[in-house]
Structure formats: C-alpha cells, structure tokens
Amino acid sequence: MSLRLPSEIVVEDVLPTLRVLLARELGEHGLTQREIAEHLGVTQAAVSTYVSGEPELESRIAEHPRTAETVASVAAGLADGEMDGYDALAAVLELVRAFEDRGPICELHEEAMPELEGLGCDLCVRGANPELHTERAVLDDVREAARVLATSPGVATAVPNVGTNVGTALPEATEVADVAAIPGRIYEMGGRVEVPANPEFGASEHVATTILAAMAEAPDRRGAVNLATDDAVLDAAETRGLDRMAFEAGYENRGDRLTEQFGERGSVPDVLFHRGAFGIEPITYVLGETGADAARLAAELVADE
C-alpha cells in the first residue's frame, strides 16, 4: 500500500502552484519581488523563479476556475491593503477545503494512493465515521457483483443492447443517490462482459428505481441486476421455484407503479420482467439482498438455460 496523507498532496502539489500564480498576479499589481517574497513567506530568489522561470505547475489546480478567482481576490487584497496575511490564509484554506471535497485534491490523492480509487472517498470532509464504512462496503459489493458478471460463463449473451447494470443500496436508501452502480453501464464486447468504471453512487437511475421500490416493501432487498428478457432464463427461475412477476415496460412513474404492485402482493419477487414496448427493450431484473447476491443468482440462471 502506498500511504499518502491528503496534507502531503496539499504541500507538494497545491501550495507550490498557488505560490507561483500569486507571485505572478502580485507582480501584475506592481509589487516588487521583495514585497512578493514577504507576502508569500519565500525567498526573493524563489519569487524570481516563479515570475521569470518555468516552474512546474499542477494543471488541475492552476486551470481550475475557482483557483483563478481566489488568486485574483487574494492578490488584489494584498496589493491594496484590504487583506492581511490572516485574510489571505483564510481564503487559501477555503480553496483547499473546497478542492478536498470531491475536487482536484481528491483526484491527485487517488493517483498517489490507488487504493482510494472508486471509493467516493470524502475522508477529508467527514473523517472516518460509520457512514463512510457503510458506503465503502456497498461500493465493494458492487465491485464484487461486476466481477461475478464479468467472469461467469454465458453472461455476455444475456446483456441487453442497452447494457446491463448492477446496484446495491445503502441500508436506509431513499433516493437514487443512495444506490451504487456502474457508471456508463456494463456492456458486451466480443463475447465478453466489459465493466467500464468503478462503481459510484447515483450511477443508474433504472436499477436504483427498481431497488428503491423493492426496499419500500422489503428493506433487505437492496440489490438488483438487469438482463435481457429471455424465456429460457424465466423458465430456469420457475424450475428453481423462484418468485416471478411481470410488469409494464413504460418508464413513466415506474417506481410508484412497482411500489404499488409489491405492496398489493405483499412481497418482492426474485425475478421481475417485462416484454418491452415501442422503443423499450425487454428487460428482466434479478433481485437479491445485495447486488453481488443478485449477480450470482443471475449468473446461475443464465447457466441453467
């Protein structure tokens, strides 16, 4: 594991870039290199390099619109005396905190510490708390589900033309943003299942809508995966004694309609399917306690065909 603290990213990547940009902006306001050095707490030789040389800049920091706003504001404030060092520090800290909240500092941190990639990490903002651990567990489950789909024989043939997705919801999920899935959907290419990205919360409205409707009746049904509707898969589900339910294909008010149907029957099916409609491909949803559970069941049903 490559252990890197977020503060190291700030010190090594963010502050050097901000110092260069501030030095140049202060120079535009007519300050001497000595005055700039005093404001920035660096040597005059360093300022000379900032202004006249070609120091390396971190482009994601340097080119961000919020950086430009902060640099312009701080430089103008220091130049005309409206800001002192405390005010300037407060403005820079505000920028850093904004960049730590799913911003460019997060991107740089993920590159420096690949173990963070795909976790939706907001450790800098919220700290290590139970909610964050729960979110990580949900994301891990979707990653496991994607591995199951990618490595199980025959699943590629069951991927709909619109693509497949698999999702897992947080235990108290109430909206699409509480359900993790694969951004851009999972697709078939050359007879293989391709997973284009790591899971994220809010990445699949259709799968999330189905899961949320299921949770309204059965809170432990927090996972689902969609496949192309195939009679062989539906027959395999029937042979296994699984509960099946047909529903209308339309997208309008789908969540409300499913919630009502689940409530009327007093249970959530294992397999939920429709036969399509104009412009809507026939789709089957396999549900489970988690997305990984649903993916394993889906792979078994495909293998049973």
Rounded distance, CA 92 to CA 150, Å?
45
Q: Is pLDDT at 128 greater than 80 in this prediction?
A: no
Rounded distance, CA 108 to CA 31, Å?
32
Residue 173 CB-half CA count within 13 A: 33
Confidence category of residue 104, pLDDT binned at 50, 70, 90: confident
Confidence category of residue 139, pLDDT binned at 50, 70, 90: very high
Q: Give tens-digit pLDDT for 215-262.
A: 999 999 999 999 999 999 999 999 999 999 999 999 899 999 999 999
Query: How far are the Cα atoms of 15, 142, 222, 226 from residue 145, in angstroms, in the given order?
Result: 40, 5, 13, 12
The arithmetic mean of pLDDT across residues 170-178, rounded, is 94
pLDDT given for residue 6 in this prediction: 73
The arithmetic mean of pLDDT across residues 183-210, rounded, is 93
Q: Which of 298, 215, 203, 199 is nearest to 255 (CA)?
A: 215
Q: Which of 197, 198, 204, 146 is nearest to 175 (CA)?
A: 204
pTM: 0.64
First-to-last CA distance in the chain?
43
- Provide the phi-psi class of 303: left if phi over 0, else alpha when psi is between -120 and 50, else beta: alpha
The arithmetic mean of pLDDT across residues 257-269, rounded, is 96
The percentage of residues in the chain with a pLDDT greater than 90, rounded to a whole number, is 69
Tell me the sheet residues that pair with 194. 187
Q: Give the domains, in start order, of the chain with CATH numbers.
A: 6-116 (no CATH), 130-304 (3.40.225.10)
Rounded distance, CA 163 to CA 187, Å?
5
Give 284's DSSP letter.
E
Mean pLDDT (the chain, rounded): 89
CA dihedral for 180, 183, 185, 190, sign (positive or negative): negative
pLDDT given for residue 305 in this prediction: 66
